[in-house]
Structure 1
């Protein structure tokens, strides 16, 4: 990413579905844009559930991905890399932060996407802090709330 480009920060507030259901379509949109994705969570159980969801969320296809911690995995070749660590081993353009994972506000990505579940108060509070930090730094910030149908509606914040 050129030094002149600063990341956009997009926030996804889940209230209807689990993260494992909501994240795959967002990742698919990134791949359709020609971007690689790094998805980070310190929760290995979350990563395992997301791994399974990426294989099955669409009956017609799957999202090519791998888990960074898997033995023998060539992380650099993975279009979507699931990881417990914030290490851009697949040269990702989009960063997906889950379960309160933090990244520098000027992280070297085109887009940083924070996905958080409404019922997780600690993660929701962390997302608010991240939103404020990005906004205070003059970065593009967008906030989406899940609709009753499971889609997204941008909310004015």
Structure 2
């Protein structure tokens, strides 16, 4: 099981999510995006429809959606990848093959606590990603 920690900074969350979703879809995978509220889910839905780069098939309901936005860690679309868009770690994400945990300066301490807790579990591989000054993502741990 792999958990990727993404420290948000220069790029807004919807843009980062879109890039990750594009890669997962290109590999034939599916993604569940977990929002923290109906308002955040609606915002992410709108942002993914209005993305400037390409069409990203997604929805709020249904097993036929390659990218599904929901409020729970339940993948009706049979996704094996989960993105925690609400910046809150939950162990339910460990049921997936890969989890993306996003956090910012306000949720940094909670992300550090999750990083330490997951580090004690040998079956979990962790990666820490941050952006450089040019906006490129760099694996820093």
Query: TM-score under structure 2 normalisation?
Result: 0.89
Within 5 A, what are the aligned runs for 1:1-157? 7-59=1-53, 61-68=54-61, 75-104=62-91, 107-118=94-105, 121=106, 123-138=107-122, 139-156=124-141
Deviations, residues 84-112 of structure 1 (Å, cap 9, x unaligned): 11112111011001223333277221100
Q: Kindly report structure 1 stretches of 4+ aligned residues shifted beyond 3 Å.
A: none
Question: Would you say the 8 A contact 1:38–1:83 is kept in 2?
Answer: yes
Number of aligned positions between the proteins: 140
Query: Alpha-carbon deviations, 1:20-66, whole Å to 9, x = none?
Result: 2221111111111211000002222222221122112234x211111
Note closer, same or farther for the CA distance 1:49–1:106 as it changes in structure 2 (3 Å cut): closer
**RMSD across aligned positions (CA):** 1.7
TM-score by length of 1: 0.80
Q: Secondary structure at the match of 1:67?
A: coil
